[in-house]
Amino acid sequence: MFIEDFSQGKKKSVDLDNIKYIDLNVYNFGMHECMPGYSYGPTIRDHYIIHYIFKGNGCFYADNKKHDLCEGQGFLIRPGKLTFYQADPSNPWHYVWVGFSGLKAGIYLEQANLTLDNPIFFYKNKKAMKKCILQMLKMKKDSQFRESRLLSHLYMFLSMIIEENGENHTRKTIEKDIRHYVIKAVEYIEQNYSREIQISEVAHFTGIVRSYLFTVFKQSMGISPQEYLIKYRINKACELMHDSLLSISDISRSVGYNDVYQFSKIFKKCIGKSPSEYRKKLL
């Protein structure tokens, strides 16, 4: 019989409806200060869930095995697996959790040494793990970049587990994926700057949504994808200014601006001089 009573203990949780990313998606997350004997299941989930215990004790059942757990430990629930867990009757656990899915979820869990035979992990810095989820809970629902920021916290959550439990793996693996997105974005911009491209096209090429591209790009490059596109175009325009056979209109079109007035305005903002003034000093 499946029984769950959320009236027992303090619980804060958030469920997300939109699944936008291919590699990794935040499904839900929260914190629960359980009452004595509180239990969940037996039940089967359709996504991964990691629980981390920052206080108290409890037990987790999976594949007909019982795991007695305490603070500083955590457990993984896998999709399609029947599981049950229960707070200790005298010293009930308080935990945070995050649910997620995605094509690379299994890879990251393997790097954390979380397998079918080993669903348990340890992480000594209880404050850091708890803080990560609390920051997710504090994010405003109407924030423009909420989903990408939630995803970045999930990456951090996983990297902490990988760092302490993985075999020869660190958070560098996750950072490598982020660099891969940035490199692909730069590649697309530098190959297509001469036409009127949108940043949404760049995001589509990299395989992630625009808001997440903005976050990882600015984190790595210090500027947004749009700012990088503008700087790259203006640098190319400065190079073309040396060719006296090209008019300002020719240069404008060559770097992706069909509107020469818009080009001149952006050029002056970046360089401090109009295209004509800049060229006069060259020739």
HEC profile of 35-89: CCCCEEEEEECCCEEEEEEEECEEEEEECCEEEEEECCEEEEECCCCEEEEEECC
> What pLDDT is stored for residue 143 in this prediction?
58
Give the Cα separation of 133 and 14 in Å (integer): 11
Q: Is the peptide bond before 42 cis (omega within 30 degrees of 0)?
A: yes
Q: Inform me whether the pLDDT recorded for 169 exceeds 60.
A: no
Overall average pLDDT of the 150-169 stretch = 80
The lowest-confidence range among 60-64, 149-153, 229-233 is 149-153
Check residue 213 and give its pLDDT. Answer: 86
Structure tokens at 168: 């020869």
What is the spatial distance between Cα 82 and Cα 101, in angstroms, rounded to a whole number?
Answer: 17
Mean pLDDT of 202-231: 88
Please report which confidence band the pLDDT of residue 138 belongs to, taking 50, 70 and 90 as the band edges: confident
User: Average pLDDT for residues 213-234, to the nearest whole number?
Assistant: 90
Confidence band (pLDDT; 50, 70, 90) for 276?
Answer: very high
Strands 73-77 and 25-34: unpaired
> Does residue 7 register a pLDDT over 50?
no
Per-residue pLDDT at 32:
92
- Tell me the CATH number of domain 9-167, given options 3.40.50.2300, 2.60.120.280, 2.40.30.170, 2.40.50.100: 2.60.120.280
Contact 25, 102 (CB under 8 A): yes
Phi, psi angle pair for 271, to nearest 5°: -100, -30
**Sign for the pseudo-dihedral over CA of 46, 16, 171, 132:** negative
Q: Of the candidates 45, 51, 46, 26, which has an alpha carbon nearest to the alpha carbon of residue 154? A: 26
Angle between helices 210-221 and 172-192 (to 10 degrees): 100
CB-based contact 151:212 (threshold 8 Å): yes
Average pLDDT for 201-208:
87
pLDDT at position 124 is 86
Is CATH 1.20.120 correct for 174-222?
no
Kindly calculate the radius of gyration of the chain based on its CA atoms and give it in whole angstroms. Answer: 25
Q: What is the mean pLDDT of residues 141-165?
A: 79
Mean pLDDT lowest for which of 137-141, 200-204, 245-249, 267-271? 137-141
The pLDDT-based confidence of 5 (bands split at 50, 70, 90) is: very low
Q: Is 144's pLDDT higher than 90?
A: no
With vertex at residue 133, the alpha carbon angle to CA 132 and CA 137, rounded to the nearest 5 degrees, is 125
* Nearest of 59, 175, 177, 44 to residue 120 by alpha carbon: 59
Q: How confident is the model at residue 150 (pLDDT cuts 50, 70, 90)?
A: confident
Q: How high does pLDDT run on average in the chain?
A: 85
Query: Residue 90 has what pLDDT?
Result: 92
Q: What is the pLDDT of residues 73-117, one digit of tens each?
A: 999 999 999 999 999 999 999 999 999 988 888 888 888 888 888
Per-residue pLDDT averaged across 17-29, rounded?
Answer: 72
Q: What band does 3 get if pLDDT is binned at 50, 70 and 90? A: very low
CATH classification for the domain delimited by 228-282, as one of 2.70.240.10, 1.10.10.60, 3.90.950.10, 1.10.1070.11: 1.10.10.60
Domains of the chain by residue range: 9-167, 174-222, 228-282
Indicate the pTM of the whole model.
0.56
Whether 9-167 shares its CATH topology with 228-282 is answered no
pLDDT for position 86: 95
Region for 146 from its dihedrals, namely left if φ exceeds 0, alpha if ψ lies in -120 to 50, beta otherwise: alpha
